[in-house]
Amino acid sequence: MAFDPRDLIRPEILRLKAYQVADARDMVKLDAMENPYPLPEDLRKAAAGLVSDAALNRYPDSQAAELRHAIRKRLGVPEGAQILFGNGSDELIQLIALALAKPGATILAPEPSFVMYRMIATFCGMHYVGVPLTEQFSLDPDEMVLRIEQHQPAVVFIAYPNNPTGTLFDADAMARVLHAAPGLVVIDEAYHAFAGSSFMEELRRHPNLLVMRTLSKLGLAALRLGFVAGAPQWLAEIDKLRLPYNINSLTQAIATHLVENVGRLNAQAAAIVTSRTQLAHALADMPDLRIWQSHANFILFRVPNAPRTFDLLKRQRVLIKNLHGTHPMLDNCLRVTVGTPGENAIFLNALRASLA
């Protein structure tokens, strides 16, 4: 090559490591918080019909009007709140950050949490402040308030429940953050279906709050659809950064139908919650293993040697997530997504063999 890309690419991008997606061929795949159940047969047939009828020669509806209507009606978005769609909630995190990325602006988030908050701060040239959770992985309200006052973040991201810890932060601690924040607070409810608790209604009381959801964990990861709800004054500005047709027509058509039938997906989520309880009990019974109570569709646990256990599981064709080395508080931690009862049994047997 006549020139070296490294001369032109921003140094902070050169230093980044790309988001890793593991090869899951022929594996029991319990690494990515997917719903393990396929869509029920009748809904698959309906989706096939919608795909067949879609006008693929036309650009999608840029406003996704039908989908907007369905989500407002079925997912409890309060009166007066607006909705903005993203190609997955990842894209929304990026749009929010881009809109707020004034020179010197800061993103603040508790840590360990979802890695994209930090990565996207780097993409957008923003400062990033990670505030450690307590040893129990709960929110430390004193520390959060202190660091918010110190750094005056343009936006605070809080995953509720948190990934990768599975914890659902205390409501009073969350309220203190909401009151202390001088800018936007985004509550990322990616795992809402497994938690039974939400800040959506709080949108009525907090003008600087946005609540973000995704359909990914509900069984529709392949569609790539996230949305954020909040005051129109915020979302109208952030919407200017959205590329015109970010939600494709097939996603719009299928998601509209499935949101209309969200009870069916919630029933799958309820089955996953039951399996989570069984899996947590089985893990808690294992010697030398510590687990944290989860309100999501995955469980975080610590073993004596996580890289070794992870490799031994992989050799038995079970793929989970190794978090060792990703954050100092996650030393020797592994995260398993709750699968079907059959997958969970395979995982538990493989884990017992790996720890023996």
Using Cβ positions, the residue closest to ligand PMP within the complex turns out to be 88
CA distance 173 to 7: 45
Is residue 216 close enough to count as binding ligand PMP by CB under 6 A?
A: yes
Binding status of residue 223 toward ligand PMP by CB under 6 A: no
Which parts of the chain are beta strand (E)? 28-29, 82-86, 106-111, 127-132, 155-159, 184-188, 209-214, 226-230, 290-291, 298-302, 318-319, 321-322, 333-337
Instruction: Report the C-alpha gap between 318 and 28 in whole angstroms.
Output: 5
Query: Residue 46 or residue 190: which is nearer to ligand PMP going by CB?
Result: 190
**Position among 50, 188, 206, 247 found at the interface with ligand PMP (CB under 6 A):** 188
Residue closer to ligand PMP by CB (options 72, 213) is: 213
DSSP secondary structure string for all residues of 190-222: TTGGGTS--SGGGGGT-TTEEEEEESGGGTTGG
Residue numbers 85-124 binding ligand PMP by CB under 6 A: 88-90, 114
Q: Which residue's CB is nearer to ligand PMP, number 158 or number 348?
A: 158
147-169 residues labelled b (16+ CB within 10 A) or e (exposed): bbeebebbbbbbbbbbbbbbbbb
Q: Considering beta carbons, is residue 144 or 350 the nearer one to ligand PMP?
A: 144
User: Exactly one of 82, 163, 246, 309 binds ligand PMP (CB under 6 A); which one?
Assistant: 163
Q: Which is nearer to ligand PMP, 163 or 268 (CB)?
A: 163
- N-term to C-term CA, the chain: 52
Find residue 319's DSSP bridge partners.
Answer: 29
Scan residues 13-72 and list those touching ligand PMP (CB under 6 A): 33
Residue of 219, 226, 230, 339 interacting with ligand PMP (CB under 6 A): 226
Binding site for ligand PMP (CB under 6 A): 33, 88-90, 114, 159, 163, 188, 190, 214, 216, 226
